Amino acid sequence: MVVKTLQDLNTLVSLSKRRGFVFQSSEIYGGLGSCWDYGPIGSILKMNVKRAWWNAMTRRSDIVGLDAAILMHPTVWKASGHVDGFSDPLVDCKDCKTRFRADNTESYLTKKQCPQCGSKNLSEERNFNLMFKTHMGPLEDTGSVVYLRPETAQGHFVNFINCQQSSRYKIPFGIAAIGKSFRNEITPGNFIFRTREFEQMEMQYFVKPGTDEGFFNEWKERRLNFYLKFGIKKDNLKFHDHEKLAHYARAATDVEYKFPMGYSELEGIHNRSDFDLTQHMKFSGKSLEYFNEATKEKYIPYVIETAVGCDRLILAFMCDAYREEVTVQKDETTGKESEDIRIVMGFHPEIAPIKVCVLPLSKKEELTVPAMKIRDQLAEEFDVQYDETASIGKRYRRADEIGTPFCVTVDFETANDGAVTVRHRDKMTQDRIQISQLNTYVANGLRNFNT
């Protein structure tokens, strides 16, 4: 058997549509530029990814959760620097009308040429702010302008004192949040890698100045271990330390994943110094200093930030999980050889959207009725699918294609022995299990899936 990994993002785009992971937004109207909808399987996958991150962050004794509003006071974005500085340099080709970024387009940087048609008839560079603007209330005057947040992080900074005082946590402590962010990207693309509406999972860890370097290194290690724990292959991950830093940053690194288009940023880990809290103190006139009761010290904390896009992580999980198992089969009578391909999404069991698929061997009522009962029994604890159409082989393949760890087959023996056959997605082993023991078997099996 030969095992092939994912070579091309298009393979994933078509699998996503076929099996209900991700659909193009507003597809019946021709779609909307780089917006995507998560389907019946994808929406469960997304929840599992968020839960994995959320639990890793907030089940610690030093991190609290937050769910801040998308719309924030417009001065927040003045203080953060987004109104004046969150922009990309943009150039228009006057011949073919292509619009592209001036700072990362090879043909423009080297030859001042349009990347599409090669023309040199180009506009001046203009700065294009990436924040989406809207108006609050009925009047569209400048006084009512608000922004769709381009990052969740500012919610953490403006709530620093609220979270610290209500939880009574002492520094070092962190605030974690998951939520939508919006950026009017000039060049979105690569499926759900770069979109204009996306979800971020960000954590700000507030520390005493002087201890920041140590915590920055700790968080680098923790975040790498998170990816390894959930099954991402070590060889597909690397750190990329930034040499050129933003004016407020003392250190920055990206966790990069080897996507089919090459190594690209998955997560940013930054030492943001006391920049954000200082700015918000200046613009709001409120103190965001921390007071240590025990030592009587008062200071503005430094912040170590870990920021990952949920959608981008889903893409990494999908790319990493995809495999094709190719076996050459020989026809006994004709001697002809043909390829049999099993497509498997080898998700970590906690990430896999559906944990168990229940399959009656035939559509006869004597099997479908108990099979539905077993489905209901399992659904009390797990996300379950029920599938009764097509041959058993085809149904196994359908379950493999969405990464279902276990398939449960109800057969004509079930009524006599009160048992079902459970098949393991990766090992392809089969066990005969009593229905009364099935939930426990699946729970244990998920916990020890790879052992």
Instruction: Say if residues 316 and 257 touch (Cβ distance below 8 Å).
Output: yes
Per CB under 6 A, 88 contacts ligand GAP: no
Sign of the C-alpha dihedral computed for residues 189, 267, 51 and 198 taken in this order = negative
Q: What is the Cβ-side half-sphere exposure of residue 337, based on CA atoms within 13 angstroms?
A: 3
Using the 8-state DSSP alphabet, how is residue 123 labeled?
P
Among 92, 185, 324, 383, binds ligand GAP (CB under 6 A): 185
Residues 164-183 that bind ligand GAP (CB under 6 A): 183
Which residue lies nearest ligand GAP, judged by its C-beta?
A: 309
Instruction: Say if residues 272 and 206 touch (Cβ distance below 8 Å).
Output: no
Residue 432 β-bridge partners: 421
Per CB under 6 A, 320 contacts ligand GAP: no
**How many residues make contact with ligand GAP (CB under 6 A)?**
19
Q: How far is it, in rounded angstroms, from Cα 451 to Cα 448?
A: 6
Per-residue binder mask for ligand GAP (CB under 6 A), 286-315, x = binder: -------------------x-xxx-xx---
Output the smallest distance, CB 377 to ligand GAP, in A.
Answer: 39
Residues in contact with 391: Cβ distance below 8 Å, sequence separation at least 6, in sequence order: none
CB atoms within 10 A of CB 336: 9
Output the smallest distance, CB 40 to ligand GAP, in A.
Answer: 22
Per CB under 6 A, 151 contacts ligand GAP: yes
Amino acid 113 reads Q
Residues 187-246 that bind ligand GAP (CB under 6 A): 194-195, 198, 200, 202
Output the smallest distance, CB 225 to ligand GAP, in A.
Answer: 18
Residues 239-268 that bind ligand GAP (CB under 6 A): 265-268
* CA-based nearest residue to 158, from 260, 286, 59: 286
Residue 10 φ/ψ, nearest 5 degrees: -60, -30
Tokens of 431: 């066990």
Q: How far is it, in rounded angstroms, from Cα 315 to Cα 199?
A: 13
Q: Is 345 exposed, middle or buried (0-12, 13-18, 19+ CB in 10 A)?
A: buried
Q: How far is it, in rounded angstroms, from Cα 113 to Cα 133?
A: 31
Output the smallest distance, CB 396 to ligand GAP, in A.
Answer: 34
Cα-atom radius of gyration of the chain, to the nearest Å?
A: 26
Which contiguous run of DSSP H or E holds residue 403?
none
Residue ranges binding ligand GAP (CB under 6 A): 151, 153, 183, 185, 194-195, 198, 200, 202, 265-268, 305, 307-309, 311-312
